[in-house]
Amino acid sequence: MKFIPGSNAVEGFFNKYTVAFTLVVMYQAIFVGASTVEVPERLRVISTNVFFRIFTLFAIAFTATKDVEVSVLSVALFIAMINIIKTPEERKNRVLL
């Protein structure tokens, strides 16, 4: 049942461009989840490790796509976009993420 104008176009876009869909899922997982759950101290400590952070992004992306290549590409694009958005001061504090 399609009662919202343009919904077919939006769904078609995300079905065709799985990287775009994956970026939306990653945004939701990272920014919405962090604002609703108190993170345990042990997880907070390990999350400072850049490799753990990249693996976490990959796991989120892979959940959305079930495709390793699209997931890796999506993680790279997501990291690039986040670094473009950061201010110069924020970039000094963290190397990658």
Q: Is the pTM of this model over 0.85?
A: no
In this predicted structure, which of 17-21, 34-38, 43-47, 49-53 has the lowest mean pLDDT? 34-38
Residue 49 reports pLDDT greater than 80 = yes
Q: What angle do CA 69, 52, 83 make, to 5 degrees?
A: 70
Spatial distance between the Cα atoms of 43 and 65, rounded to a whole number of angstroms: 25
Q: Do residues 26 and 78 make contact, with C-beta atoms less than 8 angstroms apart?
A: yes
Identify the pLDDT of residue 32: 67
Identify the pLDDT of residue 36: 64
Q: What percent of the chain has pLDDT over 70?
A: 90
Identify the pLDDT of residue 74: 92
What's the rounded mean pLDDT across residues 46-63? 86
Sign of CA dihedral 4, 10, 14, 20: negative
Choose among 33, 26, 32, 34: nearest CA to 78: 26
Q: Do residues 74 and 61 make contact, with C-beta atoms less than 8 angstroms apart?
A: yes
